[in-house]
Structure 1
Amino acid sequence: MTKLSDYALTSEAAEILGVSQNTIRTWAKDGKIPVHRNPANGYRLFKRSDLDKFLKSIERSASKPKRSK
């Protein structure tokens, strides 16, 4: 069963990822991070496990050596 504690609000998601709330909103709109809506109030909710996956994907891409042209 999924609990509300499995989710983060926009402000908390921004803090976890180290970016602004507007960046989180943009990434959600662009489909980079899955977003859910609270049915009671419409607030954006981000699964903590999705945020962890996103962080790991960023870390992997940052650790890959860059190709020179």
Structure 2
Amino acid sequence: MEVQRRNSRMLTTTEVAHLLHVHPNTVRHWANKGLLPVYRLGIRGDRRFKWEEVENFIKSNGHKSQ
């Protein structure tokens, strides 16, 4: 159950940056370039990232997460 909840969770830009040990602007840059899939939510267009896709990004780009 916990694995399913974690996989379906949407992460914020700050959370992704923390996982990848980079600045949030770097995450935004990667998303803008299409390197990391991003979803825009709500009227403000807040960025959210799917845990599963961030995990795939980490594996395919050799980034180390916590």
- TM-score normalised to structure 2 length: 0.76
- For the residues of structure 2 that align with 1:29 and 1:53, how far apart are their CA atoms? 18
**How many residues end up aligned between the 2 structures?**
56
Q: Which ranges of structure 2 fall in alignment gaps of 5 or more residues?
A: 1-7
- Give the secondary structure class of the aligned counterpart of 1:44: strand
The percent identity for this pair of structures is 40
TM-score (norm 1): 0.73
What's 2:61 paired with? Answer: 58
Q: Which runs of 4+ in 1 moved over 3 A?
A: none
Q: Provide structure 1 residue ranges, at least 5 long, that are not aligned to the other structure.
A: 60-69
User: Which has the bigger relative contact order, CA under 8 A and spacing at least 6?
Assistant: 2
Match of residue 22 from structure 1: 25
